[in-house]
């Protein structure tokens, strides 16, 4: 009897917790929805499956809001998730108004008002995934991370939810993601597994829809700029990408030169601080192969909207597999580029990866660790 009473009391306490008692009552986990673990080798969820999952999570969790921002080029839902504590969700419009005032200080009347806004506001972080549709890790990882944020009551998650408004666009190119995943799944287990899609994966821009951040020619870019950037003015944007398999395991800023001359020095300093923090956090978690200040520069508004709109932009580039098929990279085959030898420790690459097997589980783990490190920093430095 005593044990039953104790269990009932514990359940009641969880349900009354300030973060909505996530405890995950009714929140579907990825395994139960997709039928496989997110990040498993040779297993990919397509856009239809992912959007259905996010609808279920948003219905079940008071921490998660799902908004359909519009339709993609081919008519699929283009969505954004807003993840924060239940108490922050209840005052989301108020927090948005605070953010708008902080984004344009001409509307702030005094130092006292500024101090009040800073105390009452929250750090706004936008994370975007999969603008290049063959880079499948980000859209897959998003499902696992959002489930964690929706359901976990650990101290790290609570601190993030209390202090951050986490905006997540789980795919910047849903049409391409649907094509890539359906094509991969059609041929997995055959001699054609991981064969390239025989057409380009955006209806108009092909591969480089990631060069549209100043011309705004594509509906996906327009929706992201209008409904995320210009509505929320995030202090931090994390754009998640993948790169080749034979170099570092993941890149974070600082960027190399050149920086476009109109980027504010305070933003460049913020990029340097945050990227270095993320690299240190992954090293602390025992994850080798992290490089900073290599290959990627801070030039051109074509791929960096937030550089010019008051926010810190973090690019991450994680080593790829063959879509979701694992690869083996021998030590002798590791390469670098632009001054990096991926087998030699340097100040910006202190712990080389030793080579071996690499697949979607590794990609998702590295990506998720990077996002969580960023969110921790955003929460602690609110």
Q: Is a pLDDT exceeding 90 seen at residue 59?
A: yes
Q: How confident is the model at residue 24, as a pLDDT?
A: 62
What is the distance of C-alpha 330 from the center of its chain?
29
Q: Mean pLDDT across the stretch 60-77?
A: 98
Q: How confident is the model at residue 205, as a pLDDT?
A: 82
Q: Is a pLDDT exceeding 90 seen at residue 10?
A: no
Alpha-carbon Rg for the chain, nearest whole angstrom, is 21
Share of the chain above pLDDT 90, in %: 86
Beta strand 256-259 with 250-252: parallel, antiparallel or unpaired? Answer: unpaired
Q: Report the 10 Å Cβ neighbour count for 265.
A: 8
**Residues 245-289: pLDDT tens digits?**
999 999 999 999 999 999 999 999 999 999 999 999 999 999 999
The per-residue b/e assignment along 269-291, b for 16 or more CB within 10 angstroms, e otherwise, is ebbbebbbbbbebbeeeebebbb
Q: How confident is the model at residue 40, as a pLDDT?
A: 99
Quickly list DSSP for 201-241.
SSTTTTT-GGG-TTT--SHHHHHHIIIIIHHH--SEEEEEE
Q: Is a pLDDT exceeding 90 seen at residue 204?
A: no
Average pLDDT, the chain: 93
Residue 372, CA atoms < 13 Å, CB-side half-sphere: 19
Q: Mean pLDDT across the stretch 64-88?
A: 98
Q: Which domains does the chain have, with CATH numbers?
A: 27-84+122-380 (3.40.630.10)
By the 8 A CB rule, do 354 and 279 touch? no
Q: How confident is the model at residue 180, as a pLDDT?
A: 97
């Amino acid at each position: 009897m005593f044990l039953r009473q104790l269990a009932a009391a514990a359940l009641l306490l969880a349900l009354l917790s300030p973060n909505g008692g996530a405890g995950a009552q009714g929140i579907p986990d990825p395994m139960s929805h997709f039928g496989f673990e997110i990040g498993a080798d040779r297993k990919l969820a397509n856009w239809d499956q992912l959007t259905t999952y996010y609808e279920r999570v948003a219905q079940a969790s008071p921490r998660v809001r799902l908004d359909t921002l519009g339709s993609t080029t081919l008519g699929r839902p283009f969505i954004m998730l807003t993840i924060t504590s239940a108490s922050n969700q209840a005052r989301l419009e108020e927090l948005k108004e605070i953010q708008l005032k902080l984004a344009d200080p001409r509307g702030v009347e005094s130092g006292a008002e500024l101090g009040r806004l800073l105390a009452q506001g929250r750090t706004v972080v936008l994370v975007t995934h999969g603008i290049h549709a063959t880079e499948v890790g980000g859209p897959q990882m998003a499902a696992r991370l959002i489930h964690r944020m929706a359901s976990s009551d650990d101290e790290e998650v609570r601190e993030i939810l209390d202090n951050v408004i986490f905006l997540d666009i789980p795919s910047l190119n849903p049409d391409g993601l649907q094509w890539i995943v359906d094509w991969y799944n059609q041929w997995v287990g055959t001699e054609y597994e991981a064969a390239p899609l025989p057409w380009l994966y955006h209806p108009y821009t092909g591969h480089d829809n990631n060069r549209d951040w100043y011309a705004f020619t594509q509906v996906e870019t327009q929706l992201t700029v209008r409904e995320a950037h210009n509505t929320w003015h995030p202090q931090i944007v994390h754009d998640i990408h993948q790169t080749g398999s034979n170099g570092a395991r993941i890149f974070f800023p600082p960027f190399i030169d050149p920086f476009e001359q109109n980027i504010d020095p305070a933003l460049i300093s913020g990029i340097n601080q945050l990227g270095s923090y993320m690299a240190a956090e992954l090293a602390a978690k025992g994850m080798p192969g992290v490089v900073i200040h290599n290959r990627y520069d801070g030039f051109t508004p074509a791929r960096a909207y937030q550089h010019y709109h008051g926010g810190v932009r973090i690019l991450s580039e994680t080593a790829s597999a063959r879509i979701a098929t694992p690869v083996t990279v021998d030590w002798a085959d590791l390469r670098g580029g632009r001054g990096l030898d991926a087998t030699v420790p340097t100040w910006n690459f202190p712990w080389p990866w030793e080579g071996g097997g690499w697949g979607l589980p590794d990609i998702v783990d590295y990506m998720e660790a990077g996002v969580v490190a960023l969110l921790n920093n955003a929460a602690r430095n609110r």
